[in-house]
Amino acid sequence: MEPNLNTIHVFKTDVLKKEPDCPMHSTLDNHSEIQQWSIDYEDVDCVLRVVSEVLKPNEIIGIVNEFGYQCQELP
């Protein structure tokens, strides 16, 4: 089943490389209100995509900021 496009949130970040033991990755993986997430490390904006029917963009930004990364919603 395809996700509802209104539940896909897209952000510009400064997460430059994948770190397997990164606490932020664990938090996103285990967050009960996040169905799926990914970061495009090859994109100049290191685009984070989060699928969540419940979380609002500012809540996702807050999660990322907690780990010392910058995060800005993309239109």
Instruction: Please name the residues in contact with 5: beta carbons below 8 A apart, sequence gap of 6 or more.
Output: none
pLDDT surpasses 90 at 71: yes
Question: How far is 57 from 52, CA to CA, in rounded Å?
Answer: 10
Q: Write out pLDDT tens, residues 20-43.
A: 788 999 999 999 999 999 999 999
* pLDDT at residue number 5: 64
pLDDT surpasses 60 at 3: no
Tell me which residue range forms the domain holding 24.
Answer: 5-73
Beta bridge partners of 11: 48, 73
* pLDDT at residue number 38: 96
Which tokens hold the place of 43? 């994109």
Q: Is 16:67 a contact under the CB 8 Å cutoff?
A: no
* pLDDT at residue number 20: 74
Q: What is the CATH number of the domain that holds 47?
A: 3.30.70.100
With 0.75 as the threshold, say if the pTM is over it.
yes
Total domains, the chain: 1
Q: Containing H/E element for 24?
A: helix 23-30
